[in-house]
Structure 1
């Protein structure tokens, strides 16, 4: 998993709403490969080559004029060593290792709420279906006043402080004082912490009468299982084609990618292979005739689609199973294995490269770290330039190095880079406006009516423009014209998510998504 995408671990586009599910101590995590087999790393000092480093740390700890923490010195040494490797090898502190593990396992011990901090008050903006909070009677829109008798409303509170108050063992209780619809509830709600399961599927629905749309957030432990369940349901509703959205998907478990890709092929098709200096070549084949082995398929990618996403896209492109639509992917073809330390910290170490069925290594250049002493001599082998051409069975050319190039290119909307839009997003003005002004009453219409008929009224958009001006953002008429469609879509999607759940968010966004539109045209042969 790329360091740049670690923060993108829940639903893309929730606009600052933070999912808090509690933390769960768990087993070892591997970013791109579940083949552990070597779970312990020798501490510094045991191996001869590291004795000098350990001796120096010991001398400092025993003789330095001031007291120095040995653990801190060791971590500094480890950080410096790892910085000399490829950009994807990394040393994780215990809390970082836990967070990565929990995210990809998709299982937490907590209460299952999403919240947004609105004017120093925690506002519930989402509930995990049938999670502990929902079972206890919490509702979207509830404002949290106190936790276990400690007031949290009306004063600044950090995520770390919230975790300390909310997290705890499964089966333990937490009492939350609630303000709902303008009134404080008489008694706090008692919520029993429990295991919370979170699907790696953001959305799965029929985008038209015969086309399924499935968006995968990450490749976790149950991604293939979640996908199979979702697609089976959609096939029963008449799905014959599929749009698989892997945009903003930064990767995950290696075996989750191969298991998902298996659904698109007959058995015993080569999907990917791995190889490294200390890792002999291992081929990974589709395990059985896939659930969607014959239907028309389009895969959506962008510059943040990485590693496991690229394994799937590369196999589909090389074997001409479907079309790739969007923008060039990130370009990560390195496989990490995790080695755990006894204190819960871990080393995610690159042990191999992966190659698509045609033998492509789509790893991009390491130029940003070209001064690293340990791999500079091997740099030519770490990536292949885009000029290296491979040919598919039908004669189509595909390329190695620098990511997966789409078959149908759709450029990014340049208006998203506009100064006004970036300022609006950075200040979280859309979320604050929606949660403070547009969520006062529950709508009487259904989600279907909302999706078909709700568009932000002109007068409401005008009030939003005045709102951002009141918050110090000045703008020109040209800037408003350039960003209007995006801002409207963002507000409509976030409001739909608040009332109807996370899937509604993507249904609204897809109404005006140019990449989705191009995928539908390509599937229809246009």
Structure 2
């Protein structure tokens, strides 16, 4: 073929190439377009890709952040009852409960008839310095009326708490006085005490009420023990009733104060978490004082670690009712937006080998949530004979039988 003939067929060849290319492209587009979701669904990022598809193609506009806030708790609830999602707006309040302090005005209140009633004013706190008294009724915050259906525990905390050294104007109605009195309160650090009571019950017996296990629990307990020592106590009662737990390390530190050297306090273990033992170091100052620990169905987690260590080491007499049964270890993992999850990574075990966690069915929390009601209904709260031992028998250091798994 000479050059002239080649040039004559070149447009025809190019047109045929374009047509063939279009046909091939159409074939592949038709062949794979229906399988696009299948490709996405087979990958590890299905959830992320699904959210992108919703955002790009869903018929109506969707708040993706709100959708995620609803989806994550559902995913975690299918694992166990204690793996949870904490939104960014709730994360600070959760942290304050354990840290031992927060910035606020320094009052304790209740809500009655859609109005905040000040029950107690923290001594030397911001509200006390500003002149607010117990018995005052708060009716406005920062110039806005704050009574009626809008008044909830969460909304009250949101308005009254805030960064240190910021100001809040509070309007109150005071008994016996007319009109509204206004006080400008400069927010400050408010201590969160985890030990709510320390006193002598009789000439020999000291009593300590521990309401939670936070960062300051152990030093608070040492102060309480020193106070009781000055009053000459020779027996001790530690009250953990309705103490839902907190930091494991605080419970370990407390247990260490009452145990001789090298006694196992608790151990934890999980699929990806090798067994980790926590033992006493023998430096505790109250290793021999007679000890009683009070618990009930509201005593959970760190409370059960402490009570279990005392019981399995035959160090204390446990009095009360069967504890809650929360023995799953959560690791706190944060997201860039300030929200976080608490993901279960291991289980707690008492020194005798008992798993503290009561049974549950993954993804079905109804029986778990109604467990306390079930205990009440079969009479466990009123007769020790009604307590059902669902788990196997274990033995303490001197051979006493104790039960776990329930």
The partner residue of 2:296 within 273, 280, 302 is 302
* Corresponding residue number in structure 2 for 1:201: 195
* Corresponding residue number in structure 2 for 1:262: 256
Is 1:54 aligned to 2:58, yes or no? Answer: no
CA 1:185 to 1:87, structure 2 compared with 1: closer, same or farther past 3 Å?
same
Q: Is the 8 A contact 1:299 1:325 kept in 2?
A: yes
* Corresponding residue number in structure 2 for 1:112: 106
Structure 2 length normalisation: TM-score?
Answer: 0.79
* Corresponding residue number in structure 2 for 1:392: 396
**Secondary structure of the structure 2 residue equivalent to 1:123:** strand
Higher relative contact order (CA closer than 8 Å, sequence separation 6+): 1
CA 1:66 to 1:246, structure 2 compared with 1: closer, same or farther past 3 Å?
same
1:154-233 pair list within 5 angstroms: 157-184=151-178, 188-233=182-227
Shift of 1:290: 1.6
CA 1:301 to 1:154, structure 2 compared with 1: closer, same or farther past 3 Å?
closer
1:281-296 pair list within 5 angstroms: 281-296=275-290
Shift of 1:186: 8.2
**Secondary structure of the structure 2 residue equivalent to 1:264:** coil
Rounded Cα–Cα distance in structure 1 between residues aligned with 2:81 and 2:314: 31
* Corresponding residue number in structure 1 for 2:328: 334
1:57-68 pair list within 5 angstroms: 57-68=51-62
Q: Is the 8 A contact 1:337 1:351 kept in 2?
A: yes
Gaps of 5+ in 1: 1-47, 373-384, 403-526
Q: Is the 8 A contact 1:125 1:141 kept in 2?
A: yes
* Corresponding residue number in structure 1 for 2:352: 358
Shift of 1:214: 1.0
* Corresponding residue number in structure 2 for 1:133: 127
Is 1:88 aligned to 2:82, yes or no? Answer: yes
* Corresponding residue number in structure 2 for 1:70: 64
Q: Is the 8 A contact 1:219 1:256 kept in 2?
A: yes
The partner residue of 2:308 within 314, 321, 325 is 314
Rounded Cα–Cα distance in structure 2 between residues aligned with 1:222 and 1:277: 31
1:254-277 alpha-carbon deviations (Å, 9 max, x no partner):
111111111111233210111111
CA 1:122 to 1:286, structure 2 compared with 1: closer, same or farther past 3 Å?
same
Q: Is the 8 A contact 2:174 2:181 kept in 1?
A: no
Shift of 1:344: 1.3
* Corresponding residue number in structure 1 for 2:386: none
Shift of 1:73: 2.9
The partner residue of 2:234 within 240, 244, 250 is 240
Rounded Cα–Cα distance in structure 1 between residues aligned with 2:149 and 2:51: 43
Q: Is the 8 A contact 1:177 1:185 kept in 2?
A: no
Rounded Cα–Cα distance in structure 2 between residues aligned with 1:176 and 1:167: 12
Rounded Cα–Cα distance in structure 2 between residues aligned with 1:370 and 1:155: 34
Aligned-residue Cα RMSD (Å) equals 2.3
* Corresponding residue number in structure 1 for 2:31: none
**Secondary structure of the structure 1 residue equivalent to 2:45:** helix
Q: Is the 8 A contact 2:79 2:362 kept in 1?
A: no
How many matched pairs? 343
Is 1:345 aligned to 2:339, yes or no? Answer: yes
Rounded Cα–Cα distance in structure 2 between residues aligned with 1:218 and 1:66: 46
Rounded Cα–Cα distance in structure 2 between residues aligned with 1:155 and 1:68: 29
1:436-480 alpha-carbon deviations (Å, 9 max, x no partner):
xxxxxxxxxxxxxxxxxxxxxxxxxxxxxxxxxxxxxxxxxxxxx
